[in-house]
Structure 1
Amino acid sequence: MNDMTPMNTQYMSLYVEHADLTAGVAFLMRTLEKHKHIPILANILFPGDGTMQATDLDQTATWRLTGLGGGFVPEHQAFTVTADSLQRAIKGANKGCLVSFAIEAVDDEPAGRVVVSADGMVSKLQALPVCDFPVDMPYMKPSPTAVVFHMTAARMAAWLGFIAPCISTEETRYYLNGVFLNSRRGVLSAVATDGHKLGIMDTDHAWPVTEGRGPWNSDGIIWPKKAVNTVISALGKKATGYVQLTIGPIFVKVEHEQWSVVSKHIDGTFPDYTRVIPSLGKGFAGVNVDDAQKAITRLVGVLGKQGGAIHVDTRENTVGAKNGNEPTTLALTFTDVAEQVKDADDCNTVLDGFGVNPAYLKDALAAFSDCGVVHFTWDEGSPIRFQGVSWGWNADCYIEGVRIVMPMRY
């Protein structure tokens, strides 16, 4: 039986590899919500097609199960089971064992019991009717105007990992609680900001804006933070394989060979981020990321609990902090990169550096840790722009990513 019809009184046997089931449950629990008034949303659905699903109504995640011999699980009878109960039932079992599922009819329980056997331990778990599980949300319907992109999983992990730290957590400005996917210069680009720092990273995937295909195609779509973090966690630090990214009028979907996540968009207007991208300032410098992070860590200790700004002085090759009226400076070598800029005769001649929040500065530096060296430009009173070192200052291409950080009075 592969449809989601009510359970009959017969037994059904299903076998799944323990390691795969454990990973799948952990993945789905990032989506689940514990609703006291909507118990079905705490359940995992086994729809009968060899997958598991979970939803919080705004986001739906799917995991493809691995069965006997490493093959995909065959069709079976649909059922639901509480995620917490299933996790407890398989916890501690041998990672190489097979976990079996069976449906047992029970009087006064319309959905019966799910019998889970794992490495000698048998658990009879309560189930809810399959028909109660929400599977027909509007954002899950395909769209003829959707745009599809293909990229390596490693590329997506790096792309989202660069942008995600800039997502706002402030609920009042809900439209900042996600990643803005948009077409910039004809390519797919991602932007996020919390009002203090901003991250931009382009891809090399063409997304030409076609007139008449809907305002979402020209203005972009806001991808919720929860879905972004779910995808980042699923990709992991050593992402392998390929992913498909589908962007529709009201949804964003990421599909991997093992899992997929589809989520409703944030219905709001993302601010015009191009207005806060600073033009090239009069100050240009480069610094070793590791050396700068170590220096900032030491100065944070000087600032103490009251906090404050760190002062960056590229002419004196120092960074400093104040605790009350007690200033502290620390030597840090900055490289002069003004020669890379056209018409830069007056660069680094009139600026006394800038003040910046140490947490935002460390975050910006960490985003470029793989580069070894990060370049930055600033002007008096303007945001500081950090970028990679492989392309010129005058290029309007953010394939390596750009971080914008607001200055702070020192």
Structure 2
Amino acid sequence: MTAPFTLTAPREALLAAVQTAFGAVERRNTIPVLANLLLESCETGLTVSGTNLDVMTTVATGLGCQPKAHAGITVPAALTHDILRKIPQGCEVTLAEGKNGQMTLTAGRSRFQLSTLPAADWPKLEDKSGALETRFSLTAARFAAMLAGVDFAISTEETRYYLNGVYMHELGGSLITVATDGHRLARAVLAGVADAEGMPGVIIPARTVDLVSKALAAAPKDAVLDIAVSENRVTFETGAVRIASKLIDGTFPDYPRVIPEGGANRWRFDVAALGEAVDRVSTISSERGRAVKMGWGRDTLDLTVVNPDAGDGREDMSVEAEDGEDVEIGFNAKYLAQMLAHMTGRATVTMAGPGAPARFAPVHQEHEAIEMTFVLMPMRV
């Protein structure tokens, strides 16, 4: 008979692990064990896992527990997280497996009895394609920047499920992430990821993108991220955190076709100045999605937002025309503002005309490893 599970650890270390694993747990579940966290022990210490069947987060804590080889036990995720969050800092927390499916949690003068479920009920994420096909590593901070640069463009429209995530693929030794909702598109390119050559293009679900982004934000600046990709699963591992996720089973659009590669009309502008101007003229509108009309001239950009019920807002700013003719075009003010928030310094915009998509790109600096491209579809004004 296996000895009962016991653990004594600092509240902060245990809370950090529980909080990270809890991110993969759905608040509402029809399967009881999915509302729980799995606690396992091995020679290297305690691991804490959470899952929703599509993605699983596992945190290796290094916290010593007994016995060192335990089949595991599951505890209520939300309840355990809330208790640890409310326990005073600096406390020692003890978890002790009792009889009749109970886990006792004590800290100072606080004592809680938590109902448990057997680890045997815990689901496993299976990789149906067999061996993982592609493995590569890169700086965690760079991949975090690649996700942060595109995730705002992920579609939330469930009928177009293949757009509900970030498309990751390899091309010519470069790793590329892309997101689009059909109205705007964002692409990040990182050159020099040779080990990713031959990787199949995969669509990472939005929930997984969020979990990975949070894990990378908490990682040290010099952390390395290991990525493993197969046809139906992707795994991210950095430090003590491992996130394994199913992929979206669908075909991502042939996105290069909508990125204007040429365009007879091209301007250079200051990103911060344009963002502030768009924010000011949009004040007149109660609808964040109302179009902002932009008149791109030789050295001046005129911005106008019209609200039939309140009036209009107008502003002009300096720009530099690099090629082409004047263009009047409209964009969704909210989408334009969100895109500009992901750029700094100076940028260029290229467009064929008022009815064509516009390509925005920060002026690339030699020290910048990631090259960003954004596309906005026009609106009638």
Provide the TM-score with structure 1 as the length reference. 0.83
| Counterpart in the other structure of 1:385 | 359
Alignment of 1:2-401 (within 5 A): 8=2, 10-49=3-42, 50-67=46-63, 75=68, 77=70, 78-106=72-100, 112-135=101-124, 137-139=125-127, 143-204=130-191, 205-206=193-194, 210=198, 217-218=199-200, 220-236=201-217, 240=221, 241-305=223-287, 308-315=290-297, 316-324=300-308, 326-336=311-321, 338=322, 347-348=323-324, 350-368=325-343, 371-380=344-353, 381-390=355-364, 399-401=370-372
Whole-angstrom CA distance in 2 between matches of 1:222 and 1:309: 31
Q: Contact 1:179–1:223 (CA<8 Å) still a contact in 2? A: yes
3-state SS of the aligned residue for 1:301? helix
Q: How many residues align?
A: 370
Whole-angstrom CA distance in 2 between matches of 1:162 and 1:231: 14
- Per-residue deviation at 1:256? 1.0
Q: Contact 2:268–2:320 (CA<8 Å) still a contact in 1? A: yes
- Per-residue deviation at 1:307? 5.1
Q: Contact 2:289–2:335 (CA<8 Å) still a contact in 1? A: no
3-state SS of the aligned residue for 2:87? coil
* AA in 2 matched with 1:203: L
Whole-angstrom CA distance in 2 between matches of 1:373 and 1:407: 22
Task: Spell out structure 1 runs of 4+ moving beyond 6 A.
Answer: none
Whole-angstrom CA distance in 2 between matches of 1:87 and 1:237: 18
Provide the TM-score with structure 2 as the length reference. 0.89
3-state SS of the aligned residue for 2:79? helix
Q: Which runs of 5+ in 2 are unaligned?
A: none
RMSD: 2.5
Identity %: 31
Q: Contact 2:5–2:67 (CA<8 Å) still a contact in 1? A: no
Q: Which runs of 5+ in 1 are unaligned?
A: 1-6, 107-111, 211-216, 339-346
Whole-angstrom CA distance in 1 between matches of 2:108 and 2:34: 28
* AA in 2 matched with 1:311: K
Whole-angstrom CA distance in 2 between matches of 1:132 and 1:86: 19
- Per-residue deviation at 1:66? 4.2
Q: Which moved more, 1:145-154 or 1:375-384?
A: 145-154
1:307–1:261 Cα change, 3 Å? closer
Q: Contact 1:114–1:127 (CA<8 Å) still a contact in 2? A: yes
1:16–1:146 Cα change, 3 Å? farther
Whole-angstrom CA distance in 2 between matches of 1:238 and 1:138: 27
Whole-angstrom CA distance in 1 between matches of 2:60 and 2:154: 30
* AA in 2 matched with 1:232: S
- Per-residue deviation at 1:352? 2.5
Structure showing the higher strand proportion among its residues: 2
Whole-angstrom CA distance in 2 between matches of 1:142 and 1:149: 18
- Per-residue deviation at 1:239? 5.1
* AA in 1 matched with 2:333: P
